[in-house]
C-alpha cells in the first residue's frame, strides 16, 4: 500500500528533499483538494435537497440564482460567512467554538479513504471499512459538545438524542457492512470493489439474498447515523427547535450543515463501494481500466453517478417519511435492525461455507431477477399513482378556462377524485 501523497511526491521528482517534509507538504495539498471537493459536493447537495423538496411538494424549489437555481448554495454560503457569530453569554465559550470541528473533521477525514476512482483515492487503507466506521463516530463528540456547550435545553436534548442514536445505529450498520467484508475477505474498499464487477449481477447487492437484505439494513442504519429524516430526531423542529445547533449562527452553523450533507454523500459513496460495484464499468476489467486514462475517467464518473443516485434517494426518503418517535427509533434499531443484521451476517457465513460455486451462480441470477422485479413493481406503482391522482391536483382545472374561479368545476373535479378513490379501500 502506498499513499497517494507518496506517489505524487515521486511523480514530481522530489525524492531529493527530506522525505517527511515532502510527504507532509503533499498531504496538506491533497487534504485541501479533498476538502474543497467535499465542500462543493455538500453545497451542491443542499441545492439538490431543496430542488427535490420542491418537486416532491409539487412546487419548484430555488430557481432564481443561476440556472435552475444552481448557485443557491454559493449564495447561502457567502451569506452565512457574513452573518454575526453569536456566542450565548451563558454558553461554555471554548467548547461552543470547538464543537463544529469534530463534526467537520469526522466527516471530511472519512473521505480520505473513499474510492472515487480506481486510482483516485487519497489513502487506500487496508482497514478501510474499519477506518470509515471509526472516524465517522467522531461526529458524536462534536454533536454532544455542541449540545452541552450551548447551555440550552433544546440543544442538550438534541445532542443526547443524537449520541444515543448514532451509537445505537452504528452496530447494525457495521454488522451489515461485515456481511460484505466476509464475502470479499478484505477490509480495503478498493479490494471489495475489485471483488465485484461492472454488471449489476456482479454487484454484492445481488450476490445472494442475505447481502440484498443487508444492503437495506446498512442503508437504513447509515441514514439514521447521518441524522437524516425519518431519523432526524436530534433536529426535530416540532419538538426541539433546531436540536443541537439551535444556538449556532453564521459559519459555525454552516459547519454542521455542510457536515450533514457531506455525510449524505459519504454514506451513499460507502454503499456504492460496498454493494454497487464502485467504479467498475460493465464489460471492462480492472486491468483494462488501469491501463487507460479514459476508462479511469469513465469509472470516476460512474462512481459519482451511483453515489449521486444514492444521495438522491436519501433526499427523496427525507421528503417522503414522517419522523419517528424516540421509543420507536430505539425499537427499530434493537428489535429489528440488530437481529436482522446478525442473521444476515450468519447467513452469509453459512452461505460462503456451504453453497458450492455452481449454486452460487444460480442464486446470484435469481437474486438479480428478484431485485429487478422489485424495481419493476416500484416503477409500476409510480405510474399507477400518476394515473390515479393524475392532474386532479392541478390548480389549472379549478381555475377554468377564462382564468376565473369556477367553483362548480372544482366540485366536479373533486367529485371525480372521490369517485376514483372510492374503491380503493375495497381493492
Partner 1 sequence: MRAFIEYFAAIGRTVVTLGDGLAVTGSYFLRRPVTLQYPDRTEKPMVALLPERSRGMLEVDLDRCPGCTACETACPIGCIRIEVSKGKPRLITRFDIDLGRCMNCGLCSEPCPTECLKHTKEFEGGMYKPDLLLIHFVEQPVPVAPVKKGEPGPPPKPLGSILRRLLTDPYGRKRPAPAPAPAAAASAPAPPVAVAAPQPVSASTPPVSATPSAAPPSTPATSGGPS
Partner 2 sequence: MDPYIERSPDGAVAIGTLDSLLNLARKNSEWYLLFATACCGIELMQTGGPRTDADRFGFVFRPTPRQADTIILAGTITYKMASRVRLLYEQMAEPRYVISMGSCANTGGPFYDSYPVVKGGDLILPVDVYVAGCPPRPEALIEALMLVQDKMAREPWLRKARGRWPDPKDPWPQPSAVLGSCAAAAKGPTPKG
Residues that bind partner 1 (CB under 8 A): 54-60, 63, 84, 316-317, 319-321, 336, 340, 378, 381-386, 389, 391, 393-395, 399, 402-405
Closer CB to partner 1, residue 287 or residue 396?
396
- Confirm or reject binding of residue 260 to partner 2 (CB under 8 A): no
Closer CB to partner 2, residue 215 or residue 244?
244
Residue of 4, 42, 45, 62 interacting with partner 2 (CB under 8 A)? 62
Other CB atoms closer than 10 Å to residue 252's CB: what's the count? 23
- Rounded to 5 degrees, what are φ and ψ at 8? -65, -40
Region near partner 2 per CB under 8 A, out of 47-55, 128-136, 190-198, 357-365: 47-55
Helical axes 338-354 vs 153-184, angle rounded to 10° = 10
**Rule CB under 8 A: which of 224-243 touch partner 2?**
237, 241-242
d(CA 389, CA 108): 43
Cis peptide before 230 (omega within 30 of 0): yes
8 A C-beta contact, residue 110 and residue 266: yes
Region near partner 2 per CB under 8 A, out of 50-58, 123-131, 138-146, 213-221: 50-58
d(CA 241, CA 128): 37
Closer CB to partner 2, residue 87 or residue 134?
87
Cα-atom radius of gyration of the chain, to the nearest Å?
A: 24
Nearest to residue 178, comparing CAs of 411, 345, 393? Answer: 345
Binding partner at 316 among partner 2, partner 1, none, C-beta below 5 to 8 Å by kind:
partner 1
| In the complex, minimum distance from the CB of residue 242 to partner 1, in angstroms, rounded to a whole number | 22
Closer CB to partner 2, residue 42 or residue 246?
246
Closer CB to partner 1, residue 53 or residue 120?
53
- Confirm or reject binding of residue 75 to partner 2 (CB under 8 A): yes
- Confirm or reject binding of residue 389 to partner 2 (CB under 8 A): no
- Confirm or reject binding of residue 151 to partner 2 (CB under 8 A): no
- Confirm or reject binding of residue 213 to partner 2 (CB under 8 A): no
Nearest to residue 2, comparing CAs of 106, 117, 126, 109? Answer: 126
d(CA 249, CA 213): 41
| In the complex, minimum distance from the CB of residue 80 to partner 2, in angstroms, rounded to a whole number | 8
Please name the residue that has the C-alpha cell 467537520. Answer: 104
Region near partner 2 per CB under 8 A, out of 54-62, 208-216, 272-280, 340-348: 54-62
Binding partner at 389 among partner 1, partner 2, none, C-beta below 5 to 8 Å by kind:
partner 1
8 A C-beta contact, residue 245 and residue 80: no
8 A C-beta contact, residue 258 and residue 104: yes
**Residues in Cβ contact with 203 at an 8 Å cutoff, skipping those fewer than 6 apart:** 196, 197, 275, 276, 277
Binding partner at 247 among partner 1, partner 2, none, C-beta below 5 to 8 Å by kind:
partner 2
| CA distances to 55, 300, 306 from 121, in Å | 34, 11, 17
- Confirm or reject binding of residue 23 to partner 2 (CB under 8 A): no
d(CA 373, CA 33): 41
| In the complex, minimum distance from the CB of residue 143 to partner 1, in angstroms, rounded to a whole number | 27
8 A C-beta contact, residue 178 and residue 261: no
Binding partner at 19 among partner 1, partner 2, none, C-beta below 5 to 8 Å by kind:
none
| In the complex, minimum distance from the CB of residue 60 to partner 1, in angstroms, rounded to a whole number | 5
- Confirm or reject binding of residue 391 to partner 2 (CB under 8 A): no
Binding partner at 105 among partner 1, partner 2, none, C-beta below 5 to 8 Å by kind:
none
Residue of 50, 161, 228, 318 interacting with partner 2 (CB under 8 A)? 50
d(CA 126, CA 323): 37
d(CA 277, CA 271): 9
Question: Hey, is 356 helix, strand or coil?
Answer: coil
d(CA 380, CA 63): 30
Closer CB to partner 1, residue 313 or residue 360?
313
Residue of 7, 19, 40, 85 interacting with partner 2 (CB under 8 A)? 85
Enumerate binding residues for partner 2 (CB under 8 A).
50, 53-54, 57-65, 68-69, 72, 74-80, 82-86, 237, 241-242, 245-250, 253, 395
Amino acid at each position: 500500500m502506498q499513499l497517494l501523497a507518496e506517489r505524487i511526491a515521486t511523480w514530481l521528482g522530489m525524492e531529493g528533499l527530506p522525505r517527511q517534509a515532502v510527504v507532509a507538504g503533499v498531504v496538506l495539498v491533497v487534504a485541501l483538494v479533498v476538502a474543497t471537493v467535499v465542500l462543493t459536493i455538500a453545497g451542491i447537495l443542499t441545492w439538490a435537497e431543496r430542488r427535490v423538496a420542491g418537486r416532491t411538494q409539487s412546487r419548484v424549489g430555488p430557481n432564481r440564482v443561476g440556472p435552475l437555481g444552481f448557485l443557491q448554495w454559493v449564495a447561502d454560503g457567502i451569506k452565512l460567512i457574513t452573518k454575526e457569530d453569536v456566542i450565548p453569554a451563558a454558553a461554555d465559550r471554548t467548547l461552543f467554538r470547538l464543537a463544529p470541528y469534530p463534526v467537520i473533521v469526522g466527516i471530511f477525514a472519512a473521505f480520505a479513504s473513499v474510492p472515487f476512482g480506481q486510482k483516485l483515492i487519497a489513502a487506500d487503507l487496508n482497514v478501510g471499512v474499519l477506518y470509515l466506521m471509526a472516524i465517522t463516530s467522531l461526529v458524536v463528540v462534536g454533536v454532544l459538545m455542541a449540545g452541552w456547550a450551548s447551555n440550552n435545553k433544546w440543544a442538550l436534548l438534541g445532542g443526547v438524542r443524537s449520541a444515543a442514536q448514532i451509537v445505537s445505529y452504528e452496530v447494525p450498520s457495521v454488522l451489515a457492512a461485515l456481511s460484505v467484508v466476509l464475502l470479499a475477505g478484505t477490509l480495503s474498499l478498493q479490494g471489495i470493489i475489485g471483488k465485484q464487477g461492472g454488471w449489476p449481477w456482479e454487484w454484492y447487492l445481488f450476490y445472494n439474498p442475505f447481502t440484498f437484505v443487508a444492503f437495506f439494513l446498512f442503508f437504513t442504519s447509515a441514514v439514521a447515523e447521518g441524522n437524516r429524516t425519518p431519523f432526524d430526531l436530534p433536529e426535530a423542529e416540532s419538538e426541539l427547535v433546531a436540536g443541537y445547533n439551535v444556538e449556532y449562527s453564521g459559519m459555525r452553523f454552516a459547519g454542521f450543515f455542510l457536515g450533514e450533507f457531506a455525510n449524505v454523500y459519504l454514506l451513499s459513496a460507502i454503499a456504492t463501494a460496498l454493494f454497487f460495484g464502485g467504479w467498475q464499468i460493465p464489460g471492462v476489467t480492472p486491468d483494462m481500466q488501469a491501463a487507460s486514462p479514459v476508462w479511469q475517467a469513465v469509472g470516476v464518473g460512474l462512481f459519482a453517478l451511483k453515489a449521486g443516485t444514492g444521495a438522491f434517494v436519501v433526499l427523496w426518503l427525507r421528503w417522503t417519511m414522517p419522523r419517528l418517535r424516540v421509543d420507536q427509533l430505539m425499537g427499530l434499531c434493537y428489535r429489528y435492525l440488530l437481529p436482522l443484521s446478525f442473521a444476515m451476517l450468519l447467513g452469509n457465513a453459512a452461505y460462503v461455507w456451504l453453497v458450492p460455486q455452481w449454486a452460487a451462480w444460480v442464486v446470484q441470477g435469481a437474486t438479480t431477477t428478484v431485485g429487478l422485479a422489485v424495481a419493476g413493481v416500484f416503477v409500476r406503482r409510480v405510474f399507477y399513482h400518476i394515473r390515479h391522482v393524475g392532474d386532479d391536483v392541478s390548480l389549472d382545472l379549478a381555475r377554468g378556462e377564462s382564468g376565473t374561479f369556477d367553483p362548480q368545476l372544482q366540485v366536479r373535479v373533486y367529485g371525480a377524485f372521490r369517485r376514483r378513490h372510492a374503491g380503493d379501500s375495497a381493492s
